[in-house]
């Protein structure tokens, strides 16, 4: 009888500590062309279906630091000043866009040439969505960059990926420009 009581109390305590949103259940739209789980929740209390909305993100040429296009007339010079260590993402996506391949290649070459250098890949999101959702999305962004670097020959021991979700915004405000600057993964030398 005592064992059953202890077991019930233990299971009750574990259930009380659990979150209603599991990290593996938080859907994120993968726009890389592979099949993925559709977005299930934006916040623990609100559910929404993932649409085919495209973000108005300007294509940046990171090699020259200039814009190669524009999004609805907005200038994205502030995005270009990221010094070759920031990868920006579309809304609700962790797919690395083709225009950042050269940036990833350059960072991979640098890390392979200096085997003692360590980096932290920090995933960030804009302010939309709940805390748990944004932490999961930020982690998927950081892991995507880490995997891309790994595929180019960078040793796993040189990299760590971490998510800050929406906790460390690069820009404040609720404009689309500010949100574009916050949807990012940063390669930070340690």
The pLDDT, as a whole number, for residue 14 is 58
Q: Is the pLDDT of residue 81 over 90?
A: no
List pLDDT tens digits, range 89-137: 999 999 999 999 999 999 999 999 999 999 999 999 999 999 999 999 9
List pLDDT tens digits, range 129-182: 999 999 999 999 999 999 999 999 999 999 999 999 999 999 998 899 999 999
Q: What gap in Å lies between CA 150 and CA 20, rounded to an integer?
A: 33
Across 111-168, the runs of DSSP E, i.e. the strands, are: 119-124, 159-165
Q: How confident is the model at residue 8 (pLDDT cuts 50, 70, 90)?
A: low
Domain ranges (residues) in the chain: 55-189
Domain 55-189 listed as CATH 3.50.50.60: no
Single pTM value for the model: 0.59
């Amino acid at each position: 009888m005592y064992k059953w009581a202890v077991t019930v109390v233990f299971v009750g305590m574990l259930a009380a500590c659990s979150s209603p949103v599991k990290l593996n259940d938080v859907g994120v739209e993968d726009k890389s062309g592979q099949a993925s789980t559709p977005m299930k929740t934006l916040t623990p209390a609100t559910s929404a279906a993932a649409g085919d909305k495209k973000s108005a993100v300007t294509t940046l040429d990171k090699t020259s630091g200039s814009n190669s296009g524009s999004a609805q007339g907005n200038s994205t010079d502030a995005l270009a000043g990221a010094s070759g260590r920031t990868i920006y993402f579309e809304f609700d996506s962790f797919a690395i866009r083709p225009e950042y391949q050269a940036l990833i290649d350059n960072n991979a070459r640098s890390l392979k040439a200096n085997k003692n250098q360590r980096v932290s890949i920090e995933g960030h999101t804009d302010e939309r969505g709940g805390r748990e959702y944004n932490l999961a999305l930020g982690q998927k962004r950081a892991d995507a960059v880490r995997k891309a670097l790994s595929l180019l020959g960078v040793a796993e021991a040189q990299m760590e990926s971490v998510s800050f979700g929406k906790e460390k915004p690069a820009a404040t405000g609720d404009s689309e420009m500010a949100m574009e600057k916050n949807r990012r993964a940063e390669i930070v030398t340690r």
